[in-house]
Structure 1
Amino acid sequence: MPISTTSKPNGTGVKRIFRASMNAVSGLKICWINESAFRQEVMLCLVLYPFLFFADVTSVEKALLFSSLTLVVVVELINSAIENTIDRIGLEHNELGGRAKDMGAAAVMLTIFMTVGVWLCVLLN
């Protein structure tokens, strides 16, 4: 029997998938409420996603544009999870905790740079 890491039983089959989906939606809501960078990145996605329908690019290029933009939000979610975990351990300054937070922020920054590069390469081609 699998070991659960949560206080709730996971269930099996469709019940497990439903609970996992509800946990994911809860994570999105929590991040939306508590993380301004996440809200800004989601708003940017909502502005740029419709552009994909009108862009005169190939399907593969549209997939690249969509994926790169979505990846920024995914990495921001992971960064927020890292920050919350470090803060849960303790709010006092800790060098390793600070490094972890800085590395998460660096991952977001590099993903944003990559997204800008992909969009420039595709749209200026």
Structure 2
Amino acid sequence: MSDSDKGFTAKNTGFKRFYYASIYSWQGLKAAYAQEPAFRYEAWGSAVLIPLSFFVAQSPMQLAALICTCLLVLAFELVNSAIEAVVDRAGTEFHELAGLAKDLGSAVVMVALIMGALIWGAVIYENFL
């Protein structure tokens, strides 16, 4: 009796797993960019802010903080989009917990944006004002 006959399949390991995980990740990024306007706006903002961070930062730690805030916003927007997709897939009828899940996902993105604004503001204040 093979593994597939027992109800499970063998998972890829090593480089093969990394290869397929990378493909799936790129598919996710492309889907988010194509289907999620908020992700597109934040991606374009990051495309401006990340190169700008090389001129604003005056230390490697500042550079890392500025870039990481941009990436953090993108990461949380991806999580928010995933939550929304799962909730929408679960059903079209209103449920209080579904609304709460979507609101909480949105709140995470807002908190990340506030964190980014605070860090960028602090670095600009420290270096230029």
With structure 2 as the length reference, what TM-score do the two structures score? Answer: 0.87
Equivalent position SS for 1:30: helix
Match for residue 107 of structure 1?
A: 108
The alignment partner of 2:38 has SS state of helix
Match of 1:73 in 2: 74
1:35 alignment partner in structure 2? 36
C-alpha displacement at 1:55, in angstroms? 2.1
Give the counterpart letter for 1:122 in structure 2. Answer: V
Partner residue of 1:116? 117
Structure 2: stretches of 5+ with no match in the other structure: 1-8
Task: Give the gaps of 5 or more residues in structure 1.
Answer: 1-7
Displacement over 2 Å in runs of 4+: none
Separation (CA, whole Å) in 1 of partners of 2:70 and 2:57? 18
Q: Which amino acid aligns with 1:107?
A: V
TM-score (norm 1): 0.90
The percentage of aligned residue pairs carrying the same residue is 40
- Taking only aligned residues, the RMSD between alpha carbons, in angstroms, comes to 1.3
- How many residues align? The count is 118
Query: Which residue matches 2:19?
Result: 18
CA–CA distance in 2 between the matches of 1:11 and 1:98? Answer: 37
